[in-house]
Amino acid sequence: MAPPQQSILITGCTTGSAGHALALEFAAQGMRVFATARSIKSLAGLEEKGIEVLALDVTSLESIAALKAEIQTRTKGKLDILFNNAGMMYEAPAIEADPKRVRQMFDANVFGVFDMVSAFTPLLLAAVSDPSRPPTIINTASVLAKVPYPFSAGYNATKAAIASYSDTLRLELAPLGIKVVTLYMGVVSTGISSPDGIRFDPNSIYADVEAGVKKRSKDHQDSGMKAERFAQEVVAEVLKKKRGPGQGEYVWKGANATLVWLLSMIGGRKVFDASSEKEIGLDEKTKRSIAEKGRALV
């Protein structure tokens, strides 16, 4: 007898995003997919593929509770996979960043994940039956949890927080029969980071490097792994059937992800410094200019 169809809830499935591609790929592999975004209108093209679309604001406890009630009704109280993918990115100098925008990013990228896990763990517990197919939580971190990516300190910090949270959650939920996977996402061509959204203050002491940061963003969009390929690789890894104990709990996918993993294993903490600075044109001349502007503030 074939095993029953598994269900998966994916957050952050806006058209053009990695979540959108993931929803399509999980559905293509025969899963019952619940795809969410703040606006149903942004989930175009999913319903026609048999995917169930629902509204969700991960920063709202009321929205999470409403979604949980709806999923409980549709699945009779069970969920096999929770994929926390929703997030936002804000790039700015660390000491000049807008505190309100940084807090909004932490709400979406970190606290939204905490709240989703707390809300949906009972549904995952109800799905515990076959040890070879444990209910699973997948949390999307980033290679930027390992790389000092200048002028993205807030975003980097959110992803480092998720990596640490997810690793700890892995140990706490293991006795309950729930698996936790940390996805270290490399560069993927999506709309999360756009040069158009990068605007330093006109009086920023880092004004000389703003063009370099915008160029980095554009280069990553141009050279990043296509969302469809990323989704195929992630889904294949997540649904892989034969594993040894503890395998598959850390997934590195996306452009440069494997390289970052390797260098983070064998290199020191500063192994990425030179390449990170070079990528945005943070050379010695630019550093001197920044230093002069900084001294002028004293």
Q: pLDDT for 104-130, tens place per residue?
A: 999 999 999 999 999 999 999 999 988
> Any catalytic annotation for residue 76?
no
Type of residue numbered 136:
T
Of 134 and 3, the one with more pLDDT: 134
- Contact present, 199 and 281 (Cβ < 8 Å): no
- Contact present, 230 and 188 (Cβ < 8 Å): yes
CA distance 136 to 14: 22
Q: Any idea what DSSP says for residue 48?
A: G
The one catalytic residue in 68, 78, 146, 159 is 159
* 122 part of a folded domain: yes
HSE-CB of 142 using CA atoms within 13 angstroms: 26
pLDDT value of position 275: 92
Q: How many CB atoms lie within 10 A of CB 172?
A: 10
* Terminal CA-CA length for the chain: 74
Residue 32 tokens, joined: 């019952």
- Contact present, 46 and 23 (Cβ < 8 Å): yes
pLDDT band, very low/low/confident/very high, at 196 (cuts 50, 70, 90): confident
The domain total for the chain is: 1
pLDDT band, very low/low/confident/very high, at 245 (cuts 50, 70, 90): low
pLDDT band, very low/low/confident/very high, at 244 (cuts 50, 70, 90): low
* 2 part of a folded domain: no
Note down the domain range covering 219: 7-296
Q: How many CB atoms lie within 10 A of CB 233?
A: 17
The one catalytic residue in 90, 149, 155, 165 is 155
pLDDT value of position 246: 59
pTM across the whole model: 0.94
Looking at 52-56, 124-128, 267-271, which range is the least confident one?
A: 267-271
* 245 part of a folded domain: yes
pLDDT tens, position by position, 143-182? 999 999 999 999 999 999 999 999 999 999 999 999 999 9
- Contact present, 34 and 71 (Cβ < 8 Å): yes
Q: How many CB atoms lie within 10 A of CB 39?
A: 10
* 209 part of a folded domain: yes
* 138 part of a folded domain: yes
> Any catalytic annotation for residue 155?
yes
Please calculate the CA angle 225-52-69 and round it to the nearest 5 degrees. 120
* 115 part of a folded domain: yes
Q: Does residue 242 have a pLDDT over 80?
A: no
Residue found under tokens 């989930």: 43
pLDDT value of position 64: 99
CATH number at residue 97: 3.40.50.720
Q: What is the mean pLDDT of residues 72-86?
A: 98
* 291 part of a folded domain: yes
* 1 part of a folded domain: no
